[in-house]
Structure 1
Amino acid sequence: FGRFVRLDDSRSRAGGGSGLGLAIARDIVTAHGGTLTVDDLEHGAAMRIRLPLPPTD
C-alpha cells in the first residue's frame, strides 16, 4: 500500500499508473471506518474491502 510502489516490473509510469491506486483506496476506505487488505492468490491477488454498516433503527 506504499505510495509510488509498482510491484510488477513490466509496468512503468510511461505505460500507465503512478503507484498511488492502492494507497488512495486504502485512505478512502479508512476514512469511512473500514479496512482494505490484499490476499495473495495462486494466480494474482484479491482485494478485500470491509466497511461498517450504518446503525439500524
Structure 2
Amino acid sequence: GIPADKLDAIFEPFVQVDPALTRIAEGTGLGLAISRDLARAMNGDLRVTSREDEGSVFTLVLPRGSA
C-alpha cells in the first residue's frame, strides 16, 4: 500500500513513491497524473484508498451518458 502522507502526491506528474534504484518496475511517474486528468476532463475522477502492507484500490468514477 501507499503511505497516507503520500496519497495526494501520487497524482502529481513525475512523482514516484519508491524512488529506489533497485526496484523492479520502472516508469516516469506520469500514468496516474494523465489518468486522473483524463477522468476529470470527462467530468469524473480517479480516486485511491490504500493501507500500508495491504494494498491499494484505485476507482475510476465517470458520469453515465444520456440515453
Question: 2: CA distance between counterparts of 1:11 and 1:34?
Answer: 34
Aligned length: 54
Identity of aligned residues (%): 39
Distance in 1 between residues matched to 2:27 and 2:46, nearest whole Å = 20
- Structure showing the higher helix proportion among its residues: 2
* 1:39 and 2:32 correspond: no
User: What's the TM-score, normalizing by structure 2?
Assistant: 0.68
CA distance in 1, matches of 2:40, 2:34: 10
Cα distance, 1:11 vs structure 2 = 6.0
Deviation at 1:44, TM superposition (A): 1.6
Distance 1:44 1:11 in 2: 22
Larger radius of gyration: 1
What residue number does 1:24 align with? 34
TM-aligned CA deviation for residue 5 of structure 1? 0.5
Q: TM-score if structure 1 supplies the norm length?
A: 0.79
Relative CO higher for 1 or 2, CA cutoff 8 Å, sep ≥ 6?
2
